[in-house]
A and B are shown apart, each in its own frame.
Chain A
Amino acid sequence: MSIDPSAIPRFAHGSRVPGWDEAADLTKDPAIVPDPASTPVPDVMRREIEAEMAKYPDTRSAAIPALKVVQREHGWCSPTAIEQAACVMRLTPGYLAAVATFYDMFDTVPVGEHQVYVCTNISCSLLGADALYDEMLSAAGDDPRFNVRAFECLGACDIAPMASVNGEYVGPLTAEDCATIVDDVLAGRPPLEAKQLRYRKVAGS
C-alpha cells in the first residue's frame, strides 16, 4: 500500500529511476465508494463505526475513530480494512488512505500486535532515551509479535526516559526494564506495573 522510500531505486545524484512507481497502476480508474453488496463488513465493526458517526454533525468526522476500529480488528490499516471502513462511511478508500497515512498511530504496513513506542524526543533523549531504544530493539526488535518504534514526544517528560507499551505509559526506564516489559507483555500482565504513570503522584508532594 504505502511505498517504502528506502526501497525506491535512485541514481547517485538522488533522482528516482524512471518506473519506480510502476507498482501503482496509473491506468486503472480510481477506486469508487465500495458497494455494500460486495464488501462484507462484520456486524460488530459496522455497528461501532456507525455509533461513532452518530456523534458528529458531519459523519466524515468519524474518519479517525473508524480507522481505529478497523485497525484494531485487522491489526493494521490493510487495503481490506480501509475498504470496509470506507464502505460503512460511504467514502472512497483513497480518502481514508490519505487520512491513515497522515497520522503516526495508523500502520499502513503489517506490524506486531504489541506496540512499544519509545519516546526519543528532547527531554527523554537528554536522559538517555536513544540508548534505551537500542536496548528495547535488542530485547524485542526481532520478535514479530512486537512493534517497537521510536516515537516523538509522548507527553510524559516527568518520567523520562519513558515508553508507551500497548498504550500504557511506563517510566522512568532503565536498560534492565526492557526485558521485564517484554516478559510482562508476553505473559499478559500489565507492563511494568510499579513504574506505570497512572499511579504517579503530583511532583513535589
Chain B
Amino acid sequence: MKVLYEDLDEPGLNTRAVYERRGGYEMLRKALELEPQEVLDELLASGVRGRGGAGFAMGKKMSFIPKGQMDKYLVCNADESEPGTFKDRELMQKNPHQLIEGIIIGAHAIGANKAFIYVRGEYAHQADVLDAALAEARDAGYVGERILGSDHSLDLVVHRGAGAYICGEETALLDSLEGKRGNPRLKPPFPAIQGLYRGPTLINNVETLMNVPYVLRIGGEEFAKVGTETSTGTKVVSVSGCVTRPGNYEIVLGTPSREIIFDLAGGPPEGRSVKAWFPGGSSAPVLTGSDEHLDLAYDFDTLAKAGSMLGSGAIIVIDDSIPMIDVALKTAKFYRHESCGKCTPCREGTNWTVNMLERVQSGEATPMDLDIMASVQEQIIGNCLCVLGDAMAMPIGSMIVHFRQEFETHIEAMRERAGLGLAIPQVNRGRNAGLGPMREPTGSDPTAAVA
C-alpha cells in the first residue's frame, strides 16, 4: 500500500497542473470549509505520529497550541541531516505541492498566519523546486491573504539553512531561523507554548505534514486502520549501506524488518550476511543480524521494546566485511563534529569517546577502556538540553553491548601486531596507558579482592 509514493515519478508532478489533476488542493478547499477544531479532530483520530525522529502524535502536539488570536507559527522541519535519512529530499523534490497543501491545512487547524519551511542548505535543488511550487501556489491564491475567499491568511517562506546537523533539533532550528547560532533551548517552555519569536509554534517533519491531506481525504478513523494499533499509517523507510538496492521504500508500519532489508532493498551483496543494522538513523541503538532482531516488526513500539527506536526511519545495513570499530568511530566523529558545544556532557563526552575509540582502533586500549567508554555514554544520556549527545551515546553504548567480543579481539590483535603482548586490564590504564611495554601488576590485584 502506497500513500506518499503512489506514482511519485509521474512527470511534472512538481507542477500545480499535474498535482491538481490528481486531486491536489481539493482537501485544502474542504479543510477551509471545516472549523479548525474539526480538522484537529480528524488528525487526533488518525493517530499519525511524527515521522521526524521522536514519534510524537501530531494531533496531540497540535492540540497543545493555545487557541485564540495571537502570532502563531508553523515550521516545517526539512533540515534532514540524520545520517542515513533521505526520504524528505525525494518527497520535496518530486511532490512539493503536497507538502505546501499539508502546511496550509496544518496552519489553518492551529490558526497560524506565518509558516516556514526550513530546508537544509545542502538541498539547493530541492529548495529551488519548493520555491517554484510556492510561487505557483501563491499565484493560484492558495497562499497569501484570505485564501480562496476564507478568513484564513497564510504567508509561507522557504528558508535555507547553512549546514548544521543540530538545526534538525526543534529548538535549535528555531534559534537558527531567528538568525542566531543553532543552539538548543531549555525545555520547557516547549515550542508549542513559546517557540519562534516567542510565539506558539508547531514544528513538524516533511513526511508528517505530507500525510495531512491524505488523512483528510480518507478520514482519521480510516487512516488509523492501517498499520498497528499505536503506529498508524505508512512510513517511508530509507534503506542504505550494504544492500544491493538502496533507496526509499514506503511500507505499512508493522512490516517485518527482514522483509524491508531483504525483499525490498535486496539484502547484503552476494556471499555476505547482515552483521548489524541501525533501525532509525545513526542515532538509534544498533541491532544485530540475529533472527530475533531481523524478525522484529518495524513500528515505533516494537523497536522501542527491543531497546532501539524507529527514529527517522532510516535503516543502515552493515555487513560482515565491515569492522565494527570503524562504524563506531565514524559515528562518534560525526557527533563530535556536530555537537554545538553548549552542554558539557555532550561537548566533552563526544570528544573523549572519539579519543577512546581511536585508542581501541590503534590497539593502545585495554578491554577496561570499553567499560570506561560505556560509563561515559551513561553520563551523557539525559544530561543535556537536547538529545544530540544521547544520539551518540545510544548507538555507541549498544555497539559495546552487542559487539564487545569483537572490540576485545581487535584490541588484542592490534597489540600483538605492535609487539606489545597481551593487555592486562587492571594495570594498563591511567599514566601507564599507551603504547609501550606492559608493566607487571604491583600491589594487590583489585580483581582478586572482588572475587
Whether B122 pairs with A158 at a CB distance below 8 angstroms is no
* Interface size counted on chain A using CB atoms at 8 A: 47
Contact (A61, B331) CB under 8 Å given A152-B338, A202-B247: no
Contact (A167, B247) CB under 8 Å given A58-B179, A105-B163, A198-B93: no
Which residues from 24 to 68 on chain A have a C-beta closer than 8 Å to any C-beta of chain B?
55-58, 60-65, 67-68
Whether B181 pairs with A99 at a CB distance below 8 angstroms is yes
Name the B residues within 8 Å of A11 (CB-CB). Answer: none
Which residues from 109 to 128 on chain A have a C-beta closer than 8 Å to any C-beta of chain B?
117, 121-123, 125-127
Contact (A169, B162) CB under 8 Å given A61-B179, A201-B9, A204-B249: no
Whether A64 pairs with B241 at a CB distance below 8 angstroms is no
Name the B residues within 8 Å of A168 (CB-CB). Answer: 125
Whether A68 pairs with B247 at a CB distance below 8 angstroms is no
Name the A residues within 8 Å of B338 (CB-CB). Answer: 152
B182 at the A/B interface (Cβ < 8 Å)? yes
Name the A residues within 8 Å of B176 (CB-CB). Answer: 64
Which residues from 134 to 167 on chain A have a C-beta closer than 8 Å to any C-beta of chain B?
151-160, 164, 167
Contact (A203, B249) CB under 8 Å given A57-B114, A155-B85, A158-B240: yes
Whether A123 pairs with B240 at a CB distance below 8 angstroms is yes
Contact (A157, B241) CB under 8 Å given A106-B162, A122-B327: yes
Whether A157 pairs with B238 at a CB distance below 8 angstroms is yes
Name the A residues within 8 Å of B248 (CB-CB). Answer: 158, 202-203
Name the A residues within 8 Å of B71 (CB-CB). Answer: 57
B81 at the A/B interface (Cβ < 8 Å)? yes
Interchain CA distance A117-B282 in the complex, whole Å: 20
Instruction: Render B46-63 as a binary contact track against A, CB cut-off 8 A, 1 for contact.
Output: 000000000000000000
B223 at the A/B interface (Cβ < 8 Å)? no
Name the A residues within 8 Å of B438 (CB-CB). Answer: none
B264 at the A/B interface (Cβ < 8 Å)? yes
Interchain CA distance A164-B278 in the complex, whole Å: 25
A residues at B contact (CB < 8 Å): 55-58, 60-65, 67-68, 98-99, 102-106, 117, 121-123, 125-127, 151-160, 164, 167-169, 197-198, 201-205
A–B Cβ pairs within 8 angstroms, 25 of them: A57-B71, A58-B197, A65-B160, A67-B162, A99-B179, A104-B162, A117-B122, A122-B327, A122-B330, A123-B84, A123-B241, A152-B338, A153-B85, A154-B122, A155-B85, A155-B86, A158-B86, A158-B247, A164-B122, A167-B122, A167-B124, A169-B125, A203-B246, A204-B249, A205-B9
B residues at A contact (CB < 8 Å): 5, 8-9, 71, 80-86, 88-90, 93-94, 114, 120-125, 157, 159-165, 176-182, 197, 238, 240-242, 245-249, 264-265, 278, 282, 314, 316, 318, 322, 326-327, 330-331, 334, 337-338, 340
